[in-house]
Structure 1
């Protein structure tokens, strides 16, 4: 009887050790996969570019913070890129997209961007405001509605290099036709922090995207 109990205890002990080892192997595999995914995303952030940018119907400038009524230094970098592309004849229209970024905001991000662009000589008639978006996904979704209304087909996404991977994936998911990108590096942002934050945001977007796909009704 004692031998039988002993054997059972040993059997349970061996099974527990086997389970712990299996759990460690799974955890190690998941960690390696996560690190590899992060490395790929960081590489994409560093290398994604489109040097030969063909003419586009519209440039979509993704919003960022205003300082009171003035674009923040980071947002000015995006807007300066839009001015360059407009002056070069690469884009014929500009969508500025972004709603109120704080409860006490006086202007939407789009309104602040429009004011900055006109100060730099961009005609107001070529600037289209999207005043509702509060996220990158909404930036792309609501800008697409303006494009459809105006019957524009081609678009270039204007944002920082670290941000363009997620924005481009969203545009493709929404059905933009061959969306182009015009990324820029930043002289004012702490890129290590923004790249880390964006990597997490991109992981969240992959999860959100799955949810959007699963919620779609069959055609």
Structure 2
């Protein structure tokens, strides 16, 4: 008589109960972290979308145009949108001076963001005497920190921050953190940039800012 010693099915490795509990706990933790991340992102998106141009806007000493990418010697389409809105507010009498702020995007570029913005404003008829340039900033925080130094040197105390709507909430919060007195917002919508891309980036940037503010 022959015995059939062929296994009835594939041999499965034995897993102890502690191993199974560990894997289950890890999956639950990952699911919890994912849920928290999604809820936080939704909250931040609501905050971002809730930013509005200050109304009514009181007359300010200066408007600060926050920097954005240069395309060679010219402001990028997104940066031109900010500059065009800053010009509109200037002509409406919202402020008498404009601070343009931003450092060098790439080695080899002829102009910093600040210099390129100044050139653009002057080409559109803004007097050179009305424009102050900040050439070092590499972030929104530095835009506002270094611009505040210019304001202190000039004796200016009130400001309108000019940027895109998706960027306004973080910019205003940073300005208040740095000691700006009731900073107003001049916000423009974009017709040239992908809001999926830029709002996703802004959620990450806002999260980073809140961590910096906290710690």
Sort the TM-score into its range (normalised by shorter chain).
0.7 to 0.9
TM-score using structure 1 length: 0.84
Are residue 61 (structure 1) and residue 65 (structure 2) matched? Answer: yes
Query: Partner of 2:156 in structure 1?
Result: 152
The two structures, once aligned, show a CA RMSD in angstroms of: 1.9
Query: Partner of 2:185 in structure 1?
Result: 181
Between the aligned partners of 1:196 and 1:161, the Cα distance in structure 2 is 14
Query: Partner of 1:36 in structure 2?
Result: 39
Between the aligned partners of 1:91 and 1:28, the Cα distance in structure 2 is 50
Between the aligned partners of 2:68 and 2:111, the Cα distance in structure 1 is 12
Query: Partner of 2:146 in structure 1?
Result: 142
Deviates more, 1:196-205 or 1:79-88: 196-205
In the alignment of these two chains, the number of paired residues is: 201
Contact 2:105 2:112 in 1 (8 A): yes
State which of 78, 86, 92 in structure 2 corresponds to 1:88: 92
Query: Partner of 1:215 in structure 2?
Result: none
Aligned partner of residue 159 in structure 1, secondary structure: strand
Are residue 190 (structure 1) and residue 194 (structure 2) matched? Answer: yes
In our comparison, the structure showing a higher alpha carbon Rg is 2
- 1:154: Cα distance to partner? 1.2
Query: Partner of 1:5 in structure 2?
Result: none
TM-score using structure 2 length: 0.86
Cα offsets for 1:56-101 (capped at 9, x unmatched): 1111001111222111111110001110110000111110001111
Are residue 106 (structure 1) and residue 110 (structure 2) matched? Answer: yes
Contact 2:70 2:116 in 1 (8 A): yes
- Unaligned 5+ segments in structure 2 are 1-15
Between the aligned partners of 2:30 and 2:176, the Cα distance in structure 1 is 32
- Unaligned 5+ segments in structure 1 are 1-11, 212-219
Query: Partner of 1:170 in structure 2?
Result: 174
